[in-house]
Structure 1
Amino acid sequence: MGVRIEVDHLTMRYGDVVAVDDITFTVEPGEFFGLLGPNGAGKTTTLETIEGLRRPSGGRVAIDGHDPAKREPDVQRRIGVQLQASSFFERLTAVEQLQTFGALYGVPQTRFGELLEQVGLSEKADAQVEDLSGGQKQRLSIACALVHDPEVVFLDEPTAALDPQARRNLWDVLRGINDSGRTVVLTTHYMEEAEELCDRVAIVDRGRLLELDTPAALIGRLDAVTRIGLSAEAVALDEARGLPGVLDAEVSAGSLVIQTREAATVLSELGRREALDGLSVSRGTLEDVFLNLTGREYRA
């Protein structure tokens, strides 16, 4: 289970517009891989090229050595795709949707109940898709992508527009897909999601690959400050600013916030002074990395 994906100097042009500009990366079998970038960065174009929906203008894409654009039946059967915007057949129930997709692959009837249970929709098997919530429709969309038991699953913003609870529930489903040995390739605008789920992430912007590594390694290279929060009464502001290892300190919204790159030193000193009331510690995040690489200007 799981396939190897090779993207070698991939380029996609539309007239004078270069949507993907000489991108190279590899996804290993069984890896959970994230493709991140602002709107218009080239994420979906890259994903659709790997899926075989588009032919590259230059470079090469391979799934276990096969060109997905050739649409070979044996290769297609190994691929599951959840598109950014999913459409369902009207007036069909959840299980009927799966049966319709499964008929294309000769999937046995026993498979559909297992899939609905896997994505937490067993109780909605006989509900028409129009009656499902946004999160339930997303889970059904993923079940349709899994109906033929593919070895690699492509997920294009699967949690877009979901509330926090629905998003967290869907994370559990996505972890389960990857834990079963499948290779998973994900695009998302939620940096917390990528940091939580992905083994490695590629950050792209304006069609170019900017960084590729584990979330932890990218955050570590950023050398972001650690923020230590305390109750405003825990220690005086001037005293906090004078502690060893403190870069700066301020009072904000009734809390004292200390910035440091030597968190252990500062926490040890605060502990010695018994000044740990209301303690919270936050480090740099993948979102900090993303903004540092791509900038903060508004993207339409």
Structure 2
Amino acid sequence: MFIDAGKLRFGQEGEVIVDMITQDDCSVARAVEAITALTSAAASAAANSSPDDPFDDPLYYHADNVALTIHGLSRRLRHDQQSKLIDFCVQLQQQTVSDPARTGILKDSYRLSFWTHMPEISIKIADYYTIGTDVGDVEDDGHQLENFTAWLARLSEMEFLAFRKGITWSLPALTCIFQKKYQATGEDVRVMCMWFIYAPMKVWSDAQMRRAQKIGLARKKESFDPEHWPKWKQFLQDCQGSSSEELVDKYTQELIGLALKSIEKLEGQHLNINKG
């Protein structure tokens, strides 16, 4: 697979993860093993140092390099070519590392166990929406947001770590159509499609449960509603076959078709359950 890695090679960690993606003979298991070996090495280096700043720590930089690389790749990898990256996140999260300085499991700078909680991943996601993290940016080809959303959606469907509770980061994609005088853009529609293609059950359950989402700097709460589901479906149906310059391209129309197929499949499953 060819990918413009740009500045994504954040230390040895970045080299390992980028090689896993770009080289067919580099497996996820091999990459996870290499990263955990680097974790142990960073832990040993940290045990032999006494930094005044808790973030001036080999373990912090090690975790940060991993998070930056994963985050950067999530924006560059096409939405349907992310399986290896998703598998890597899942397998890495299942690893634990022994603490070389004391008995027990190694903890990170947040006093959470490596790699059980992976807090740096969530922090980089938050940064993406606020201050803009340096993840080796290249000129946006117009698809970085939808690629990133597909990655988030897949993890949300799996209830991976912080995505277990809700799909907080999806709100702009799933609520923009309820704005007054909203005019659909190609990016909005493609990003919305990613949720229905890769996380239909998560969107469905959050709507049915009226799960509240925190939004904005004021941390106001807004909840999805069961009535939103048919509105999302109708919106995508209206976009299908649209002659709008924003939506007429083949790629956008293919995504709309996949999203509607996913919606109808889920509705069919629930209809059968209710009949039973």
Question: Do Structure 1 and Structure 2 share a fold, with TM-score over 0.5?
Answer: no
Structure that is richer in strand per residue: 1
Q: TM-score with structure 2 length normalisation?
A: 0.27
Max radius of gyration: which structure?
A: 1
Higher RCO (C-alpha under 8 Å, 6+ residues apart): 1
Structure that is richer in helix per residue: 2
